Structure 1
Amino acid sequence: MAHYLSLNRADFLFVPAQEQFGISEPHAIQVMIYSTGFRSSPQIESSVEDIAFYFHAQPEITAPSSNSQVAVENIMIAHLSQACTFPKRVIIEGATYILHGERLPCELVKELVLKHGEENVKIADDKWIFEFIPKRGMKKL
């Protein structure tokens, strides 16, 4: 079953060890996807239109499937495999959205201990915050 990252809520993305990318141990990365303006003013609720746009784009952005590239997961894998040289800011453009991503230090690194079965899961040193911007002028969903 696919796991989707919710809008306007912090979550963790689990990345198993992937030797082919130089990731020798499993990681958990804190990820947040905010609607436009929510990060600076959390008391402002997302519009129904923003929520509908996110719902439509959510599988492409956050959930793996056999026939789609997963924008956020691909960024996390690239970041873990190239931590020193990976940019602190990224822009991802989909058919109906734009994501502005920023990498920041994760304060939870020293406070949390995670396991996957008996295996320790390393908390990534950085978290990612994305701003979800629907492309206006698209056909109504």
Structure 2
Amino acid sequence: MGDLLDLLDADLPSSGEAHFQDLILGAQEGSIKELSILARMLAFLPEPLPDQIHLIFLNHLNSSGIPIKPKSDIVDVDEKRAFWSLWALAQLEDVFSDPDPISTGSTDLCGEELVEAWPGIFKWSAYFYSFRVQVSIRLGIR
């Protein structure tokens, strides 16, 4: 887990250095660098966020690719994608909830997408907790 958390300390580019479209395209393709930058920038982006931005992250949480246990202490690419996708979804919690869908006429499409992606979200969350958090606690790693 330590190497995932080390990624949080990496510098975010200023808005002049990184083009938002390039970040989105790179994140869609699964580039760890762009995915991590976009995930960390979401909290600081002006509203409204682009439509369907949550799909970038939901698509990286495939429930069939989750390891049963970590292969080693080195975090693989799928783990990094899942980590940053979960991180981003935590920043986007308001995208998935409509406080009053009846009065707004919302069909809550984001909710449907979330339900479809739920197995991956749940399994990756359980994986990180079981194999990264608990093991780190037992070993005294912070």
The structure whose residues are more often helix, as a share, is 2
- Normalising by structure 1, what TM-score? 0.24
- Normalising by structure 2, what TM-score? 0.24
